[in-house]
Amino acid sequence: MATIGWIGLGNMGLPMTKNLITAGHSVRGYDLSESARSAAEANGVTACTTIAEAVAGADAVFGMLPNGTISKEVFCGAGGVLEFAEPTALLIDSSTIDVASAREIHETAQQAGFAFVDAPVSGGISGAAAATLTFMLGGDPADTARAKELVEPMAGNIFDCGGPGNGQAAKIVNNMMLTVSLQGAAEGAVLADKLGLDAQTFWNVASVSSGDSWPLRTWYPVPGIVETAASNNGFEATFSAALAHKDAGLAQAAAADVGVTLPGAKAAFENLQKLMDDGYADMDCSLIIRNIDPQAPG
């Protein structure tokens, strides 16, 4: 069994580390937030107050952090992982970040003699808790093969997407499709209501018909229909508007880089931007239903 250093013990990092511990690994965790460290400690993580302490003696080090700037700082910055990790440790970033930052970390890690894998995930906090996350790996084949064994206790599916940064590329495209589907599910919920359909009846139809989608089945923005939905809980974030907006923005930037226009994705991004502008960054992204109908149930 391995000793694993873990940086970032938030909504995702907390349940993910719990599954590593259940599988018999020991986890040494660091987070800037004291409350995140305490919650992790209650789950069996050895809470550390510096990155240096968390990575000491670790066979592998994971990051589960908000964005590329923070991942670069945590892995490559002063006092960061590259400075203190064991030279043989496999470094894995499961945060969702831009492809360019991921490739920069790959290059800096390689120059410092480390094996690094980008390994973003899909499945949300419910998938993290149930150990059914989809992992998308990018890196050298020998390193992604090592990463596969380590992520297995947290995963439902593991895909090797190719070279450095390719895991992030797959994740960004996937989440672009997610925000477009969420927009569709929210618009469908409003239109069904306005046309006089009972919410549960319409959901029963759509979920076994061609209107089905992951957000419909997991995040339906009408309360009382889907157990895992934030709409049942005052739209307290399961996946915050800020994170969804970040991912939708990464897709817009990636599309601009390669010279394509994505009208549906752009509309979904602008709707998330409105949530941010209206002060709902920390609420769940499914609150976009309020942009379509301010009187929407919930």
Report which DSSP code applies to 66. S
Tell me how many degrees the CA angle 89-158-207 measures, rounded to the nearest 5.
145
CB of 10 to ligand NAD, least distance (A): 2
CB of 63 to ligand NAD, least distance (A): 8
Alpha-carbon gap, residue 17 to 52, rounded angstroms: 18
- Asked if 117 interacts with ligand NAD (CB under 6 A), we say no
- Asked if 125 interacts with ligand NAD (CB under 6 A), we say yes
Identify residues 35-64 at the interface with ligand NAD (CB under 6 A): 36, 64
Options 18, 72, 148, 171, the catalytic residue: 171
**CA 277 from centre of chain:** 22
- Asked if 124 interacts with ligand NAD (CB under 6 A), we say yes
H or E segment to which residue 62 belongs: strand 60-63
Q: Which is nearer to ligand NAD, 202 or 239 (CB)?
A: 239
- Asked if 17 interacts with ligand NAD (CB under 6 A), we say no
Q: Is 274 a catalytic residue?
A: no
Alpha-carbon gap, residue 124 to 138, rounded angstroms: 20
Alpha-carbon gap, residue 167 to 132, rounded angstroms: 17
- Asked if 243 interacts with ligand NAD (CB under 6 A), we say yes
List 5, 6, 7, 118, residue binding ligand NAD (CB under 6 A): 7
Q: Which amino acid, one-letter code, is at 60?
A: A
> Closest by alpha carbon to 211, among 183, 235, 230?
183
Q: Point out which residues bind ligand NAD (CB under 6 A).
A: 7-13, 30-33, 36, 64-66, 70, 73-74, 95-96, 121-122, 124-125, 239, 243
